[in-house]
Amino acid sequence: MTAGEGAASGVIMGDPGDRGRFGEFGGRFVPESLVPACMELEAAFRAAWADPAFRDELTSTLASYGGRPTPVTECPRLSAELGVRVLLKREDLAHTGSHKINNVVGQALLARRMGKTRLVAETGAGQHGVATATAAARYGMACVVYMGEVDTARQELNVFRMELLGAEVRPVTSGSRTLKDAVNEALRDWVATVEDTHYCLGSVMGPHPYPWIVRELQRVVGDEARQQCRAILGGADPDVVVACVGGGSNAAGTFAGFADATSSALVGVEAAGGAAMAKGIPGVLHGMRSNLMQDEAGQILEAESISAGLDYPGIGPEHAHLAAIGRARYETATDAEVLEAFQLLSRTEGIIPALESAHALAWVARAARSGDELVRSGSTVLVTLSGRGDKDVAQVRELLA
Amino acid sequence: MTVATAPDLAATLAAHRAAGRKLLVPYVTGGMDDQWLVTVEALAGAGADAIEIGLPFSDPMIDGPTVQAASLAALERGTTPAGVLADLGRISPGVPLVVMTYYNLVVRTGHRRMAASMAESGVTGAIVPDLPLEEVGPWAEAADSAGVATVLLVAPSTPDGRIAPIVERCRGFVYTVGRMGVTGEQRQLAGTALDVAARVKARTSLPVCVGIGISDADQARRVCEVADGVVVGSALVRRLLEGGGVEAAVDFIGGIRRALDRG
């Protein structure tokens, strides 16, 4: 398959071709040292994804070990408060407490198939790091997680979790000492270790084939949710499908289940302080062409948000494409709105959301109250609850004190 | 402006090689200190055949701690890509200048505008390390039109079959990555350096210069038993970061020059 075939066949979230293009976004902008590794990974994934035995092992592992399928939950008290019908796709109930497990089990199985014995990963909030450490433990692989020093401080417990799982956490002291710098360090590690190491990238970003691999591995979220919603809604689809976006993996996985199969509106919600779609300009970082927060010279700006998981100045290239073609819309939520949504869901439904996921809820609350065209009274809104909030409780307590 | 008299990268390196001279290309991060332009001019006198100037970038993905520190220092001094190029336009070092820049700085400036700025500043070569063969087209065309040679990388991981199309699109010299890893000094010359240099030499008539991990005169001399030359970055930048100044830079690069000339 070559670039553009997906578009020609009318598929919105299809195969990005051998050049990894989502419209004008994506690509493979890495030093030559890493190009052969990216090509090898692409070939291995194409073969594995077409191999029923690989798919069976992934599906059964996600069921027996990962806790899939995760349910879709009606939210009667939250719905009454907002005047719209809210359904939650419960990735907070997956093993390790977020959707990240879907991606890492798939990549670990792929790495094992490729004969790699070591995983490296970047992490922001620590969710992807914990998930990677978990998969490494499960499959007996060595694991190194790069995490910005700012994030190791605000997510201490996740650092301990990773160490408990047998991973080595390396604090990153370069640049802004957050997620983008952790990606740089992971890439630097991979350049030197590519022979025995797989870079287990955590979101729909980076050089081709990562944005495609991670979206396909997260597609299970959207595919399950579509069927579950139809069962609940008597065969209908939600009017709006909402997910938070940092790099954008839970949103990409969710949207993949709806972009082609339904006419549901798709909304991604970024942190106001890391809004690559709202404030970004097309550029190239971490191997991909996408929207980036950058200054007039092209230096990348630091994202700043209450949520370490969304502290990323870019966005997955397919999201930039979905926005460009108008299939998805991207909004932002402020830290104050997020804190309010965090408490709202806890109080009304007995579910404490991750701060990342609270961004999606925060937009729904604002849209419902302000009468946004997408969220009219009586609309049905599916929100992907990407993770649970246990990791954030201590931070929120301090913020509310 | 030096544009009329700026020595051409491809022509100069080809001529020096033809004269039996091994090629020495020191690297300095543009704007890293207030002496960097003086350093560049002095390096020409110390035996450099061309000088590579890095444009500082916030996210230098292929660089190790030393060049990262130099980039950060440059950015903290308020260095911009346009500023570095304007400064280069004010000197006439007498050797070709090659600019190393991450691609986002090119994208932000615009391909044609960046290529034209380089040419106006007397820069005749460009290394864009995060632009591999498959993605280099739009930049390389703009650079060709402006008379700027686009230098491409070959790495130890590059399969033989990929070397031919890379060197075909490459201009000036082939930047041969000596080791799998980021820029930085190494106690030992990586075994991969000689191997990849030989594989590239067998497939191109362009000069083959090995960079990344070349740390001293002895390593440079040994690599040049196979390669046509070396790029020396971190080992020089470290001396500058440590405050050695122009004198330390000239001593170090002059020492490598003498070792290469002795053979």
Residue A389 shares a structural domain with residue A341 = yes
Is residue B135 pLDDT above 90, yes or no? yes
- Which of residues A210, A240, A257 is at a domain's end? A210
Give residue-wise pLDDT tens across range B57-76: 999 999 999 999 999 999 99
**How far is the C-alpha of A231 from the C-alpha of A39, rounded, in Å?**
41
Residue of B nearest to A296 (CA): B108
**How far is the C-alpha of B64 from the C-alpha of B69, rounded, in Å?**
9
A201 touching chain B per CB within 8 A: no
Residue A206 shares a structural domain with residue A299 = no
Give residue-wise pLDDT tens across range B181-227: 999 999 999 999 999 999 999 999 999 999 999 999 999 999 999 99
Report if pTM > 0.80: yes
Q: Does the residue A11 lie in any domain?
A: no
pLDDT given for residue A314 in this prediction = 95
Is residue B2 pLDDT above 60, yes or no? no
Cβ–Cβ under 8 Å, residues A358 and A93: no
Model confidence at B4, pLDDT cuts 50, 70, 90, reads low
Residue A105 shares a structural domain with residue A203 = yes
Sign, CA dihedral B194-B200-B206-B209, equals negative
Q: Does the residue A2 lie in any domain?
A: no
Q: Does the residue A167 lie in any domain?
A: yes
Residue A48 shares a structural domain with residue A156 = yes
Q: Does the residue A366 lie in any domain?
A: yes
Mean model confidence pLDDT for chain B: 96
Tell me which of B33, B49, B52, B228 is the catalytic residue: B52
Nearest to A32 among B82, B104, B154 (CB): B154
A140 touching chain B per CB within 8 A: no
User: How far lies B177's CA from each of A165, A252, B157, B174, in Å?
Assistant: 36, 36, 9, 9
Cβ–Cβ under 8 Å, residues B27 and B231: yes
Give residue-wise pLDDT tens across range B243-253: 999 999 999 99
Q: Does the residue A141 lie in any domain?
A: yes
Residue A262 buriedness (CB in 10 A; 0-12 / 13-18 / 19+): middle
pLDDT given for residue B27 in this prediction = 98
Look up residue A109 and give its DSSP letter: H
3-state secondary structure of A24: coil
Give the domain CATH number at A241. 3.40.50.1100
Is residue A99 part of the annotated active site? The answer reads yes
Residue A154 shares a structural domain with residue A193 = yes
Nearest to A191 among B75, B132, B180 (CB): B180
Residue of B nearest to A184 (CA): B61
Q: Does the residue A13 lie in any domain?
A: no
Number of folded domains that form chain A: 2
CA distance B19 to chain A (A): 31
Nearest to A180 among B59, B107, B130 (CB): B59
Residue A141 shares a structural domain with residue A92 = no
Residue A115 buriedness (CB in 10 A; 0-12 / 13-18 / 19+): exposed
A180 touching chain B per CB within 8 A: yes
Q: What is the pLDDT along chain A (401 residues), one digit of tens a residue?
A: 344 444 446 899 999 999 999 999 999 999 999 999 999 999 999 999 999 999 999 999 999 999 999 999 999 999 999 999 999 999 999 999 999 999 999 999 999 999 999 999 999 889 999 999 999 999 999 999 999 998 898 888 899 999 999 999 999 998 888 899 999 999 999 999 999 999 999 999 999 999 999 999 999 999 999 999 999 999 999 999 999 999 999 999 999 999 999 999 999 999 998 888 888 999 999 999 999 999 999 999 988 888 877 888 999 999 999 999 999 999 999 999 999 999 999 999 999 999 999 999 999 999 999 989 889 888 999 999 999 999 899 899 999 99
Model confidence at B47, pLDDT cuts 50, 70, 90, reads very high
Q: Does the residue A9 lie in any domain?
A: no
Is residue A128 part of the annotated active site? The answer reads no
Residue A185 shares a structural domain with residue A232 = no
- Which of residues A210, A230, A262 is at a domain's end? A210
Residue of A nearest to B180 (CA): A192
Residue B247 buriedness (CB in 10 A; 0-12 / 13-18 / 19+): exposed
- Which of residues A176, A191, A210 is at a domain's end? A210
3-state secondary structure of B111: helix
What is the phi/psi pair of residue A300, to 5°? Answer: -75, 135
Structural domain that includes position A358: 67-98+219-400
Residue A74 shares a structural domain with residue A146 = no
Task: Of A280-289, A297-306, B12-21, B104-113, give the lowest mean pLDDT range.
Answer: A297-306
Nearest to B75 among A37, A181, A299 (CB): A299
Q: Does the residue A1 lie in any domain?
A: no
CA distance B74 to chain A (A): 12
Residue A286 shares a structural domain with residue A334 = yes
C-beta atoms of B104 and A283 within 8 A: yes
Cβ–Cβ under 8 Å, residues B169 and B140: yes
Cβ–Cβ under 8 Å, residues A320 and A293: no
Query: By a Cβ cutoff of 8 Å, what residues of chain B touch chain A?
Result: 57-62, 64-65, 68, 75, 80-82, 103-109, 129-135, 152-159, 162, 166, 177, 180-182
Model confidence at B124, pLDDT cuts 50, 70, 90, reads very high
Q: Tell the residue number behind the tokens 């632009």, with chain if given.
A: B131
A41 touching chain B per CB within 8 A: no
Residue A105 shares a structural domain with residue A93 = no
- Chain A hits for B129, CB-CB cut-off 8 Å, are 31-32
C-beta atoms of A286 and B81 within 8 A: no
Cβ–Cβ under 8 Å, residues A376 and A364: no
Contacts of B178 (CB under 8 A, 6+ apart): B156, B189, B190, B192, B193, B196, B197, B210, B211, B212, B213, B214, B223
Q: Which residue has the higher pLDDT, B3 or B29?
A: B29
Residue A106 shares a structural domain with residue A231 = no
Residue A243 shares a structural domain with residue A293 = yes
Token pair, residue A393, equals 């409780």
